[in-house]
Structure 1
């Protein structure tokens, strides 16, 4: 796949698949048509040249593929898709991808999170169709095997087809059944966009999309505190992006980031969302997570020491809502600063090492704690396990640096 096609597919694939799914009411058709459009692009672009609007070319080609597939199935007469927009002229210099491709992602997210779909499959299906994550990436995010995740996704798509799920954003009365899954999906999608500190990963561009989607969701549901909290959370995190790398390109841990580099306008937006959430007096886990970010973003310079006690207290409260490995590991980092690395390591060792074998942060946190306890051989082994899990270049550089430091001590 050429770099131009790869970039267009990654950046616009979710928008294109969502538009196709909304128009044709068929998830498999949308996914297969987009894949066929990419295949046609791979065959024709090297010969004819890259179009001026690559994403628009893919959308137009995918729609034609979908219509061709419907004719071949001889079922087009039994479908009632939305009236298609006029065929776009993708070489029109005045056209924009945004105008040519209707943004139906929010609608598709709600479809994937329909109650007919098993709760454990809703976020995974959305990540596959809307965010374009591979089955392997989704399996890693949910700590499952790739085969198990593929089966889960297949069952979910069949269930949507069998249940005749309406392709629409439901009214407020239906939100309680779907909202939690929608928010969880956006959280996982953002974590994938945010995991590469350099912003160069396959899904890095989706960070901007999550900012837009959380804003749209907050506007649709202004009385849902957790929607507002998620909008706050992603803005706090994105605000810190300019400080996530040091001068060598290595990842900079949050406690060592220079607050002077953070984007204050985004922090101000986040604080406004979090205040609105707090005013609703409906506590929830995302408000606590956002509050952790707020504590960090309250720092104005490196001269201000991190408020580890406040961070630890918030994670203690979060465990009552969400007791999972991610929360436990983040709490352990704060606990190490408050009660010492021995207490933190004891908490980490209580986690399930087999289930977390492919979870890189588990090995990285454990390695750091072992190093601080003067157990270099065990720390090296833990760093090696983290490095074997294919970290992004910036994180790899940081982990390698930490491992090398053990040899110098």
Structure 2
């Protein structure tokens, strides 16, 4: 056979083998694992017909992040914007302004539904609109993954197998119950679905039929999606009439190591200590009685906030300080044009692996006891500040290469 023909056949064979639309060889381990879940699915009310139909040709997606694959390097958690971008890039003014402008129109469009949501759940309309805006750009962002495939893969080889095992079964229940079609069950890489990004189990815990059509539709009914988000916040402890946070100017001698949830005191005590609400804002006596924690997302640089209990309720929706800042600030901007009073300062964020190395070093020094997750959250920043105090360095509670080197040298 001529060389040119052999090359052509080889190329054609490879094209067929790797064409994404064609079937690939089954993964016996994965197939066996999925089949083993039938008793649990049956217990949750999944029909046998649904189970067999939806799992018959199901294949794992080993390109997903956050997997632990035998014989391969861990894929690692994804580089989520909440944890690798500096605040000014994540809470970008152009994005906030664009979403706020659209949100103002949606406040008018969904005014009756938002009024009912606030009456029933105590959650302001702009808060749930901001969640919708952040999660799916008010429904304009097309979720890229098949939810069932994502959840099954994460249940099989993910870092949080037990959690995803439940979510996979609950997704099957959604299909069995006729909640949503398989075609519409699209998800993020983490398996969240719908306009306001619910995991399947959250649908059953918090779903609300606000439009009164007899079903909870998180995909096409904006009132249902927003009410369900409000119900989730309420179920997690949302306090009616309490702001999410207050931007403040801290005193010059502020101790940034206090910026952890455990350091909580009435706002009036923070004010007595020299923290001043921005733009001359005057807080009522009731507001001053509220317990609050200090948040300095960039350490001593950039804006500072006194965060209420509702701040941490939003954080349970997405465990990221920048996510909460985005949602809270976007909600504020729907009713007020004021941007953050203090500008963001940081221009560089350490890579996740460097933050994880920093956390490991702080752990060995006995200054950090939380997860080694590569995310420079409140606890990491406070532990970093404690190291800086101990080492006689400038205490700014901001992860930098120079401080990482100092921590490495301290062992």
> TM-score band (shorter)?
under 0.3
Give the structure-1-normalised TM-score: 0.26
More helix by share: 1
Give the structure-2-normalised TM-score: 0.26
